[in-house]
Structure 1
Amino acid sequence: MSQSHSRSTLLAGQVALVVGGSRGIGAATARALGAHGAAVGVNYHTSAEAASKLVAEIEAAGSRAVAERADATSAADVSALVASVSAALGDISVLVCNTVGFVEANPFDRIESGSTLAVDNADAIKDRAAIQLATTLYPIREVVPGMRRLGGGSVVLIGATASRGRPTRGIAEVSVAKAAQDAVARALANELGADGIRVNTVAPGMVPTDANAGARRDAVVTELGKATPLGRVAQVDDVAGVVVALASDLTRHLTGAYLGVDGGRSML
């Protein structure tokens, strides 16, 4: 369950768009951005009811919010999404890209079965990387003109610690896709810095969400927690808090960063 956020004005005057914002890390992030004063556009693909409830929560806490459906792999959908959110709330100054693409089965079931080894799944890896690049590049391309008008902005990409170090057996396509996203972040941080646009990556480790719920997940969470310096795996609000910091002026001279949010596990 998400923790409550006390009302603040840290992001007052900011307009944020969370792509993939209706559930899990995306929902926690949208909620936190709103709690700190930002107006929030919540993008969803299929979870209309969840997005609507989230918007109501953000509004009840005192911020403006809208929910907009779009397929983030579609250039036309993303263009319409950004136009609609901008018309409703103003030019977007904070973009959070939280999409990972469709996973056919619970990742822990797939790890257990060993049924998705990289050597046997070239097409899956290629397709997942293409999805990740589309859902990262299309939204950034659409928000940059508005950010330039504003004199700057913050782009936060939700990555994964699996993109560095030894990837988890059975989910190589996620590791490869997020590594491609990491490369995009570095390139764009370098190119957009002159416009005052910062591009950073927040890379969670294992985060329990409804997408990976199940008995196998709970066992993995327990074991990973024991091996984590801070004693537990990250929760959605842990990730959301780092996104809020990156969206704010507290990190105004930080760009091109890759911040692992996994309780110190990835440093081992």
Structure 2
Amino acid sequence: MSGAGTPEGRLPEGRLLEGRVALVIGGSRGIGAGVARAFGRHGAAVGVNYLRSADAAKEVVSDIEAGGSRAVAVAGDAADAGDVAEIVRQTADALGDIDVLVCNAVGSTENAIDRVRKGLTLALDNAEDVQARVATQLATTLFPAREVLPGMRRRGGGSIVLIGATASRGRPGRGIAEISVAKAAQDALARSLAVELGPDRVRVNVVAPGMVPTDANAGPHQEPMMGEMAKVTPLGRVAYVDDVADTVVAFASGLTRHVTGAYVGVDGGRSML
């Protein structure tokens, strides 16, 4: 169940992003890879950032190029200001000024998942981890946004899409405080950036998935867990990677040209219950 899935009613295979240059931070795996591939299908040239998954990033690039769009894999730590400057420079040198940015990085979640499995679920017992996660999340949003802004201004505007989480506004699961709090901080930052960058015609929006089956949460527990979630989801199933990617395409494109500061949950309505 860890694949992208094939949800019904997908966006048509048009070219909604023809002529756009996009950078997907954290674009080598999971949701980020799905977004990068969807951008390529819709005609964008795509920078695929990765930290450690070089082979996975190269595979995403190959898929995009096979579909007729340009792409480049760019290594670097999105939480490091110097690395981010180089990520943006290399992408722009290869593809042109960036006018679509997707911030998908959050840092490793292995420790958080391990604590839940061990029953160590109280935020107060992991206060330093919560604090560190918030700092990382804000860094992986602020640094890329800062670096792409000059190019967006040269291109007359742009779209910044932050990948959030429905746990930041809905009922958070026990043991994931560091994720829900970090994403809530990112939500607040998105609203501030939407106001500050509006005069530059740069839109800033949040696309917030619920639980999505990816390789990050793969294992024998995945299918039964997703099945239980589907039972309490109004649309009757969990979201797939492609559900999230298509929503990001819409926010990157002219379909949402007068939308900024928005938060859209992609979880089949589960977070509203």
Match of 2:81 in 1: 75
Match of 1:100 in 2: 106
Pairwise CA distance, 1:167? 1.3
Which of 209, 234, 242 lines up with 1:237 in the alignment?
242
Pairwise CA distance, 1:219? 1.8
Contact 2:239–2:268, Cα closer than 8 Å, also in 1: yes
Secondary structure of the residue aligned to 1:231 is coil
| C-alpha distance in structure 2 between counterparts of 1:5 and 1:44, whole Å | 26
User: Is residue 64 of structure 1 aligned with residue 61 of structure 2?
Assistant: no
Structure 1, unaligned stretches of length 5 or more? none
Match of 2:19 in 1: 13
Listed one character per residue, the Cα deviations across residues 68-94 of structure 1 (whole Å, up to 9, x for unaligned) are 000111100000000110011000010
Contact 2:112–2:176, Cα closer than 8 Å, also in 1: no
Secondary structure of the residue aligned to 1:215 is coil
Which of 120, 127, 152 lines up with 2:125 in the alignment?
120
Secondary structure of the residue aligned to 1:199 is strand
Contact 1:30–1:42, Cα closer than 8 Å, also in 2: yes
Secondary structure of the residue aligned to 1:17 is strand
User: Is residue 173 of structure 1 aligned with residue 178 of structure 2?
Assistant: yes
**Percent identical across equivalent pairs?**
66
| C-alpha distance in structure 1 between counterparts of 2:63 and 2:270, whole Å | 33
* Count of aligned residue pairs for this structure pair: 267
Pairwise CA distance, 1:105? 4.3
Pairwise CA distance, 1:5? 8.1
Go from structure 1 to structure 2 and tell me whether the alpha carbon gap of 1:5 and 1:19 turns closer, same or farther (over 3 Å shift): same
Contact 1:5–1:32, Cα closer than 8 Å, also in 2: no
1:90 aligned partner, one-letter code: G
Match of 2:271 in 1: 266
Question: So what's the TM-score if we normalise by structure 1?
Answer: 0.96
2:138 aligned partner, one-letter code: L
Match of 1:162 in 2: 167
| C-alpha distance in structure 2 between counterparts of 1:22 and 1:135, whole Å | 15
Secondary structure of the residue aligned to 1:154 is strand
Contact 1:13–1:37, Cα closer than 8 Å, also in 2: yes
Secondary structure of the residue aligned to 1:16 is strand
Which of 43, 48, 52 lines up with 1:42 in the alignment?
48
Pairwise CA distance, 1:218? 2.1
Secondary structure of the residue aligned to 1:87 is helix
1:40 aligned partner, one-letter code: V
Which of 40, 50, 59 lines up with 1:53 in the alignment?
59
Query: What RMSD in Å do the two structures reach over aligned CA positions?
Result: 1.4
User: Is residue 247 of structure 1 aligned with residue 252 of structure 2?
Assistant: yes
Question: So what's the TM-score if we normalise by structure 2?
Answer: 0.95
Pairwise CA distance, 1:266? 1.1
Q: Counterparts in 2 of 1:169-248, with a 5 A limit?
A: 169-248=174-253
Contact 1:159–1:182, Cα closer than 8 Å, also in 2: yes
Contact 1:6–1:35, Cα closer than 8 Å, also in 2: no
Go from structure 1 to structure 2 and tell me whether the alpha carbon gap of 1:106 and 1:127 turns closer, same or farther (over 3 Å shift): closer
Listed one character per residue, the Cα deviations across residues 43-84 of structure 1 (whole Å, up to 9, x for unaligned) are 000000000011011000000000000011110000000011
User: Is residue 22 of structure 1 aligned with residue 28 of structure 2?
Assistant: yes
User: Is residue 257 of structure 1 aligned with residue 262 of structure 2?
Assistant: yes
Secondary structure of the residue aligned to 1:184 is helix
Pairwise CA distance, 1:95? 0.2
Contact 1:72–1:78, Cα closer than 8 Å, also in 2: yes
Pairwise CA distance, 1:166? 2.1
Listed one character per residue, the Cα deviations across residues 17-42 of structure 1 (whole Å, up to 9, x for unaligned) are 00000000000000000000000000
Structure 2, unaligned stretches of length 5 or more? none
